[in-house]
Amino acid sequence: MPIDGRRLNVDYAQLTGSIDCRGIGGLSKHFVEQAILAFTDPGKCIYIYYIAVQIASPSPDIADIPSLLGRDILDHWRITYDKASVGLMAEPNSFDQQLMIQ
């Protein structure tokens, strides 16, 4: 997330809840913060999720890596890929809150 952290002006000095994560590239330090993630279906509604996000500490090794949407969210959606007609489509199966747009 460092590339997105810079874009969003994340103040890493203010983050708490440090954890160590082990992945394919080895051990890295992350911060866990509560967040609200919202998706819009234009003109219809907004789907809201209350989640804990892991924010990777800045490092030259991962400076250009974008954020990833994890299975904790993707598992709430039906995702269909049809290259011939519409490409990638997603419909929510569940959400924490739904706001209708009038």
Domain ranges of the chain: 2-68
pLDDT for 85 equals: 87
Mean pLDDT of 37-58: 91
- What sign for the dihedral angle of Cα 44, 50, 51, 53? positive
**Residue 21 neighbours by CB under 8 Å, 6+ apart:** 27, 28, 29, 30, 54
- Residue 2, pLDDT above cutoff 80: no
Displacement of CA 69 from its chain's centroid (Å): 4
Please state, in angstroms and as integers, the Cα–Cα distance from residue 69 to each residue in 14, 30, 73, 97, 100, following that order: 23, 16, 7, 18, 24
Closest CA relative to residue 32, chosen from 58, 12, 52, 61: 52
User: For 25-47, how does the pLDDT look when each residue is reduced to its tens digit (9 = 90+)?
Assistant: 677 788 998 999 999 998 899 99
Mean pLDDT of 84-88: 87
- Kindly indicate the confidence band of residue 5, based on its pLDDT and cuts at 50, 70 and 90: confident
